[in-house]
Amino acid sequence: MTNDLKESFSGSDGAPPAPAALAAKVRTLAPSMTRSMQRVAEAVAGDPAGCAALTVTGLAELTGTSEATVVRTARLLGYPGYRDLRLALAGLAAQQQSGRAPAVTADIAVDDPIADVVAKLAYDEQQTLADTAAALDTVQLGAAVGVLAGARRIDIYGVGASSLVGQDLAQKLLRIGLIAHAHTDPHLAVTNAVQLRSGDAAVAITHSGSTGDVIEPLRVAFDHGATTIAITGRPDGPISQYADHILTTSTARESELRPAAMSSRTSQLLVVDCLFIGIAQRTYETAAPALSASYEALAHRHNPRTR
């Protein structure tokens, strides 16, 4: 499966390069970039319009790097070459122009009044959603949906903040009649992963893409023939080695008060929701009755005089 790894490094998603997803992609891939490439990526993300006006040589000079580095960066971002990155840049610039960028979101400060906190948080999360949706590879998503919809059994791994996302996914899948289980204990997860075989599916959720406690069970599941899916913010991370399908969540800038876990959770949940709806569509015949049944089962739990 070295191929998978390679692919995830370069053009990754064989999908066509994204238009508006560029800023998100820069953030996602920045950590895996070399210093020079980061400079280029930064320039590109910071001033799309300006960079679109530059030739390779121009951008190389601006960033104090070489043409080769610029081309490499373009490749990493998923374009065939600089020419295409430039076109995407022009597109992005045009969008921003027409969209009239809503006043920048300053970081949340210690002394922000509570109303500002609400506004900034809501804006940031909206942004995260938009980025995630733009960057999400629908081909991979479709494949993952197919796998889960047809799986005999689904194991889900996640620890820390991601464990909640995993539980959310498990809850949803159970509701539509699939056999899913979210593991939070790494040891038990591995123990259970050994049981998996071809026809089963395993889903790992980790923002960093390098959480050992989550990689290990996925590796075991992978080795035992289960189809594996990784939901991660670092598609180039170690976990991708063992993932048949990779769903990329977007990464927002974080600040002291706003840990990365916050926006990664938003992003992960959107991906999970998309998976769920996709699966519900494919298994509509059985999912729809199962859903209404679960509602009815809960009805009496609510105080009847709800108005």
Binding to its own copies by residue 60, rule CB under 8 A? no
Residue nearer to its own copies on the CB measure, 3 or 301: 301
In angstroms, give the least distance from the CB of 64 to its own copies: 21
Residue 64, binding choice from its own copies, DNA, none, Cβ under 5 to 8 Å by partner class:
DNA
**Cβ proximity of 183 and 208 under 8 Å:** no
In angstroms, give the least distance from the CB of 233 to DNA: 19
Q: How far apart are CA 61 and CA 40, in angstroms?
A: 10
Residue nearer to its own copies on the CB measure, 46 or 212: 212
Instruction: Tell me the sheet residues that pair with 182.
Output: 156
Binding to its own copies by residue 213, rule CB under 8 A? yes
Residue 286 has a CB neighbour count (10 Å cut-off) of 13
Q: Which residues contact 244 (CB under 8 A, 6 or more apart)?
A: 4, 147, 222, 227, 228, 229
Indicate the pairing of strand 245-248 with strand 154-158.
unpaired
Residue type present at position 37: M
- Show the tokens assigned to 158: 């996640």
Residue nearer to DNA on the CB measure, 61 or 185: 61
Residue 65, binding choice from DNA, its own copies, none, Cβ under 5 to 8 Å by partner class:
DNA
Residue (of 99, 141, 135, 138) closest to 19 by Cα position: 135
In angstroms, give the least distance from the CB of 137 to DNA: 22
CA distances from 124 to 110, 240, 256, 260, 307 (A): 17, 27, 15, 12, 36
In angstroms, give the least distance from the CB of 46 to its own copies: 18
- Among residues 10, 57, 171, 195, which is the contact residue for its own copies, using CB under 8 A? 171
- Among residues 14, 46, 81, 142, which is the contact residue for its own copies, using CB under 8 A? 142
Indicate the pairing of strand 201-206 with strand 227-232.
parallel
Q: How far apart are CA 102 and CA 91, in angstroms?
A: 18
Contacts with its own copies in 70-129 (CB under 8 A)? 86-88, 90-95, 97-99, 108, 110-112, 114-115, 117-119, 121-122, 125-126, 129
Candidates 8-16, 78-86, 172-180, 273-281: pick the segment binding DNA (CB under 7 A): 78-86
In angstroms, give the least distance from the CB of 196 to its own copies: 22
Binding residues (CB under 7 A) for DNA: these are: 2, 34-37, 55-57, 64-69, 71-72, 74, 80-84, 86, 307
